[in-house]
Structure 1
Amino acid sequence: MNVNAKPRFGVLSIFAILVAALWVFPVYWMFNSSFQSATDINSLTPKWLPFPGGSLNNYTAVLDPQTGFGNAFWMSIQVTVLSIVVCVVFAFLASLAISRFKFRGRKSFVIAIILVQMLPAEAMFIAQYKMIAGMDLLNSVLGVSIIYIATVIPFTAWMLRGFVAGIPADLEEAAMVDGCTRLGAFMRVTFPLLAPGLVASSVFALIQVWNEYALASVLLTQDAKETLPLWLAGFSEPSLSGPVPWGQVMAGSVLVAIPVMIFFLIVQGRMTQGMVGGAVKG
């Protein structure tokens, strides 16, 4: 037994805790500030806890119908659901094609996926804007969703390809020997094993779409058609009547982050399951 193993493990654990604390602190400070008044936030003496004196006034102000939070939230929900459903379906089929089947142009297709990932998004803004404008889909759920789907599919397909390739084709062949059709073998054996990969890919795709700002600022120019990132950016701008209401900005940031956090908490158990490894060992 290595005597130096425990001290080294302890040092690494302390380092990991410090890194995690640095990562969590901005999130904690956002939650903390969302309950504080403007006086406490602007004070030179930081207030590490929201109580005593904390309140829900910032959240009440943000949720006021006049702020437009409700419209932006509904717009983000529509765009995200449509984009994620279509993206995962097409990326799943693409990953199956490049992992399970041999066809002409397969390598070129894989290279094309990689090259698309290398292109900076900003380089395609003008072309994307003209395309959506030509289709008369500016300031619409369908218009921005089309661009989001095209943007997220390559990454999602490449990520799912690793999960599909990690499942031996022998499992399907064994099921077919036992009497299953190819489709039946896939649905009964392979698809359940791919569930963690589908969930993980959906989470990453959801984060990209939910938090996307640059494309939305180009395609959604009407205030009534803003997604949450656009709404938050406009809400945080200083007004002529006074300074930036940082407490309300923090409350809005919390409300924007909550749906993604809830979704992750719901599916995180599925993401961490080692279903593929267990099936292969069995």
Structure 2
Amino acid sequence: MRASKRLRKVSLNVTGILVFLIAVFPVFWMVSTAFKPNTEIFSTTPKPLPSSPTFDHFDLVLNGGIADTPFWSYFRNSLLLALATVVASSLLAVLAAVAVARFRFRFRTTFLIMLLVVQMVPCEALVIPLFLDLKRMGMLNSLPGLVVVYIAFAVPFAIWMLRGFVAAVPRELEEAAAIDGAGPIRTFFSVLLPLIAPGLVATSIFSFITAWNEFIFAFTFIEDQENYTLPIMLQFFFGRSGNAWGPIMAASTLLTLPVIAFFLAVQRRMVSGLTAGAVKG
């Protein structure tokens, strides 16, 4: 019996390590290629690590003035879009999730089903309708117009996820706070919000990644180069005669760093939210 359990544990660990290696290998190869000179990138005998590391590709991306526009201009646009999407979608999702989880109203089930239906619609099918809507509102070729689109895609998923976190919070905690004299707003900020903080962090990460990596809508709706985002910048390194894989990998590496930094920052908030909620509960 013990031998079978031990064998099962070993097999699960080996399987987990294999899955981890398969998932991490593309990222490792991307970072490694970013530091390789062109001779090693196009070599017929590829090596996992660069024998002569170079920062030329990063220098071209950061200081090369891609298409006469500095890298930090694209970075600023992407960062503003991502942060605005996270803040707005999180605020709307929290309010809507509390309403759906705590109140009974007409068409409540229909509303929840529509949240799932919206997630099933391919983004490509909405390009033309959204293009016409933004043009009608005068928000085409502008960053605020992109923010509205990104929020529309992030909010349904965030509401559905946060609804489960809100429903899992016992009503007795809110009733106890009300007996102690706390009003609805005080109860929300002191009791409910700390307990659903982990869910809010998860939805924030999703919203940030969605806005940070999005390409189709940004490429379709934005015309002026000064409003381009980082994913659009990557296309400048792809050409008919060939692709500049060194700068592509360097730019991709730089593109992943803010996502990792954002995750590490909000991960601490997730732990503090769990602790604060447990204490206040």
Q: Into which bin does the TM-score normalised by the smaller protein fall?
A: over 0.9
> Which residue pairs with 1:118 in the alignment?
120
Counterparts of 1:9 and 1:99, CA distance in 2: 39
Mapping 1:57-68, distance limit 5 Å: 57-67=56-66, 68=69
> Which residue pairs with 2:111 in the alignment?
109
> Which residue pairs with 1:230 in the alignment?
232
When residues 23 and 273 of structure 1 are mapped into structure 2, their CA distance, relative to the original with a 3 A threshold, is: farther
1:65 shift after superposition = 5.0
Name which of structure 1's ranges 4-13 and 175-184 shifts more when overlaid on structure 2. 175-184
Contact 1:58 1:251 in 2 (8 A): yes
Contact 1:76 1:210 in 2 (8 A): yes
1:262 shift after superposition = 0.8
> Which residue pairs with 1:56 in the alignment?
55
Mapping 1:124-273, distance limit 5 Å: 124-232=126-234, 234-238=235-239, 243-271=242-270
Counterparts of 1:218 and 1:274, CA distance in 2: 39
State the percentage of identical aligned residues: 41
1:274 shift after superposition = 8.6
Deviations 1:238-281 (A, max 9, x none): 266xx3221111000001111001111122244467938x849x
Counterparts of 2:64 and 2:52, CA distance in 1: 26
Gap runs ≥5 in structure 1: none
Contact 2:205 2:263 in 1 (8 A): yes
Counterparts of 1:127 and 1:245, CA distance in 2: 35
Q: TM-score, normalized by length of structure 1? A: 0.92
What secondary structure does 1:45 align onto? coil
Deviations 1:94-129 (A, max 9, x none): 101000111222122112212211222221111100
Contact 2:119 2:157 in 1 (8 A): yes
Counterparts of 2:149 and 2:139, CA distance in 1: 11
What secondary structure does 1:4 align onto? helix
Contact 2:195 2:273 in 1 (8 A): no
When residues 103 and 125 of structure 1 are mapped into structure 2, their CA distance, relative to the original with a 3 A threshold, is: same
1:211 shift after superposition = 0.6
When residues 224 and 103 of structure 1 are mapped into structure 2, their CA distance, relative to the original with a 3 A threshold, is: same
> Which residue pairs with 1:34 in the alignment?
34
1:222 shift after superposition = 2.8
| Alignment-mate amino acid for residue 236 of structure 1 | F
> Which residue pairs with 1:95 in the alignment?
97
Gap runs ≥5 in structure 2: none
Counterparts of 2:65 and 2:33, CA distance in 1: 22
Counterparts of 2:79 and 2:274, CA distance in 1: 31
Q: TM-score, normalized by length of structure 2? A: 0.92
Across the aligned residues of Structure 1 and Structure 2, the Cα RMSD in angstroms comes to 2.1
| Alignment-mate amino acid for residue 256 of structure 1 | L
